Amino acid sequence: MVTYLEAETAPLKNTGQIRLHGEEGFEGMRRASRLTAMALDEMVDIVKPGTTTNEIDKFVFEFGMDHGAIPATLNYRGYTKSSCTSINHVVCHGIPNDKPLREGEVVNIDITYVLDGWHGDSSRMYPVGEIKRAAERLLEVTHECLMLGIEAVKPGARMGAIGEAIQKHAEAERCSVVRDFCGHGVGRLFHDAPNVLHYGRADEGAEMRKGMIFTIEPMINLGRPHVKVLSDGWTAVTRDRSLSAQYEHTIGVTDDGCEIFTLSPKGLDRPGLAG
């Protein structure tokens, strides 16, 4: 049985109940998420052959500091970076390092800023120079999956409608959906209830209600869906080493649909425009 509670009066820990946020929460999430989207916009010019992911990470840290925000991943469960940078067959949680990006790679940059206590969580894919047509197609399909998932959000629908929309599209395009990671409730907490699955059926899961705030962040592979986590304890890769892509938005459920908090102010959050 799922229960819901007013976000303002609830304790600040994940109890499995789904928080319903009011205008104050929505306003806080708009501000934090806009900052995250602005940093992701800057990445369009920063990502190119020769840039290291540590340089990207340093920019994310300093951009946050300059705007009064802290990266949520810094010292999160032992993670020590301000961003995740996941290249090619890395599915998610790639750790920035000193290796230069190379022509033809695709990199996901995932940023969460905490601004005035609110978490804005978003990620996009960036091509490094010219990329292959197959990679381009995966980026397009993955972004379409995210937007189809978002279109399924409205009060009264079940969370499974999001997963069904994503899985149907991915598999129709002969791609696969990663099962091991999911979207999540977000707000004053980085990771809150509910889990947002990127596969499933429309009649499954909790009912969506106005005021819920969560991420949708499908990871889509060109090959099989299976992943493994490397010995660093973070880096998740496809077992078959096939290419993987991810896009993530933070959204809030409204009266008749949802508001996307992490949309790009410059319209740069779709594939084909970045890089």
Write out the residues near ligand MF3 by the rule CB under 6 A. Answer: 73, 76-77, 79, 84, 93, 110, 112, 121, 215, 217, 234, 248
Instruction: Considering the complex, state which of residue 121 and residue 164 has its C-beta at the smaller distance from Co ion.
Output: 121
Instruction: Considering the complex, state which of residue 131 and residue 181 has its C-beta at the smaller distance from ligand MF3.
Output: 181
Instruction: Considering the complex, state which of residue 164 and residue 217 has its C-beta at the smaller distance from ligand MF3.
Output: 217
Instruction: Considering the complex, state which of residue 60 and residue 101 has its C-beta at the smaller distance from ligand MF3.
Output: 60
What is the closest distance, in whole angstroms, from the C-beta atom of residue 228 to ligand MF3 in the complex? Answer: 16
What is the closest distance, in whole angstroms, from the C-beta atom of residue 217 to ligand MF3 in the complex? Answer: 5
x/- binding map, residues 175-214, to Co ion, per CB under 5 A?
----------------------------------------
Q: Are 244 and 221 in contact (CB under 8 A)?
A: yes
Residue among 167, 215, 221, 242 that touches Co ion (CB under 5 A): 215
What is the closest distance, in whole angstroms, from the C-beta atom of residue 34 to ligand MF3 in the complex? Answer: 17
Tokens 């409204």 — which residue?
254
- Output 200-203 pairs: Cβ under 8 A, ≥24 positions apart: 200/160, 200/163, 200/164, 200/167, 201/160, 201/163, 201/164, 202/152, 202/157, 202/158, 202/160, 202/161, 202/164, 203/158, 203/160
Q: Binds 79, which of Co ion, ligand MF3, none (CB < 5 to 8 A, cut-off by type)?
A: ligand MF3
Instruction: Considering the complex, state which of residue 51 and residue 73 has its C-beta at the smaller distance from Co ion.
Output: 73
Residue among 35, 106, 109, 110 that touches Co ion (CB under 5 A): 110
What is the closest distance, in whole angstroms, from the C-beta atom of residue 182 to Co ion in the complex? Answer: 9
Residue among 57, 121, 164, 269 that touches Co ion (CB under 5 A): 121
Instruction: Considering the complex, state which of residue 144 and residue 217 has its C-beta at the smaller distance from ligand MF3.
Output: 217
What is the closest distance, in whole angstroms, from the C-beta atom of residue 73 to Co ion in the complex? Answer: 8
Give dist(CA 229, CA 64) in Å, integer.
28
Chain residues in the site for Co ion (CB under 5 A) = 110, 121, 123, 215, 248
